[in-house]
């Protein structure tokens, strides 16, 4: 069975409560159930942490065995060379997702250290971005 790792970074545990005008009203745990229904034949491994090192540890732990990584590193996207290095270090292809259109927001959100380490980037499509990223990774047929 194929496995896809979905990684969420800081503050994304508050989806549904956090700035709903930007991030919507739905919790990620609720949305994840939809993703699992859409892709019944794969195993979704989900991990969220507010701590950079824990995200890096999870990439190290699963990044050589899963078929793909969907990563929304939250604000660490814009600051973390260490997370970018972790994505480079492992074999699984990754897709970067942002719920909001970061390019329509503050300029400090326009740069990502992760994008160059990912196959592609999905921004501004809301939670649907995660589903599209999973679909793309499965299409790679790895
Ligand atoms: C985000 C965008 C980031 O700039 C922000 O820090 C987040 C969420 C998004 O999904 O739109 O925490 O990654």
Rounded to 5°, the CA angle 1-50-53 comes to 75
Q: Residue 138 is encoded by which pair of tokens?
A: 């499965």
In three-state secondary structure terms, 60 is helix
122 Cβ below 6 A of ligand 1: no
Among candidates 75, 67, 83, which has minimal Cα distance to 102?
Answer: 75
79 Cβ below 6 A of ligand 1: no
Catalytic residue annotation: 23, 98
* d(C-alpha 97, C-alpha 121), whole Å: 6
Can you give the pLDDT at residue 142? 53
Q: Measure 1 CA to ligand 1 centroid, in angstroms.
A: 31
Indicate the CATH number of 2-139 among 2.30.140.10, 3.40.50.9100, 3.90.1150.180, 3.40.50.300: 3.40.50.9100
Q: Residue 36 is encoded by which pair of tokens?
A: 């699992």
Q: Measure 129 CA to ligand 1 centroid, in angstroms.
A: 13
Which residues fall within 8 angstroms of residue 103, CB to CB, at 6 or more apart?
Answer: 109, 110, 123, 124
Task: Tell me the pLDDT band of 7, cut-offs 50, 70 and 90.
Answer: very high
pTM for the whole structure: 0.97
Which residues fall within 8 angstroms of residue 118, CB to CB, at 6 or more apart?
Answer: 71, 87, 93, 94, 95, 96
pLDDT above 80 for 141 = no
109 Cβ below 6 A of ligand 1: yes
Q: Residue 63 is encoded by which pair of tokens?
A: 């990044």
Q: What is the mean pLDDT of residues 91-116?
A: 98
Domain-wise residue ranges, the chain: 2-139
**Dihedral sign, CA of 52, 8, 81, 102?**
negative
Q: Measure 71 CA to ligand 1 centroid, in angstroms.
A: 11
């Amino acid at each position: 069975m194929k496995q896809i790792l979905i990684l969420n970074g800081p503050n994304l545990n508050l989806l549904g409560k956090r700035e709903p005008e930007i991030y919507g009203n739905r919790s990620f745990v609720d949305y994840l159930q939809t993703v699992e229904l859409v892709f019944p034949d794969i195993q979704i491994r989900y991990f969220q942490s507010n701590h950079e090192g824990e995200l890096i540890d999870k990439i190290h732990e699963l990044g050589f065995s899963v078929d793909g990584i969907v990563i929304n590193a939250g604000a660490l996207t814009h600051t973390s060379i260490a997370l970018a290095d972790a994505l480079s270090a492992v074999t699984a292809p990754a897709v970067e997702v942002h719920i909001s259109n970061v390019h329509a927001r503050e300029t400090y959100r326009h740069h990502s250290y992760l994008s160059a380490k990912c196959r592609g980037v999905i921004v501004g499509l809301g939670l649907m971005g995660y589903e599209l990223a999973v679909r793309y990774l499965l299409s790679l047929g790895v």
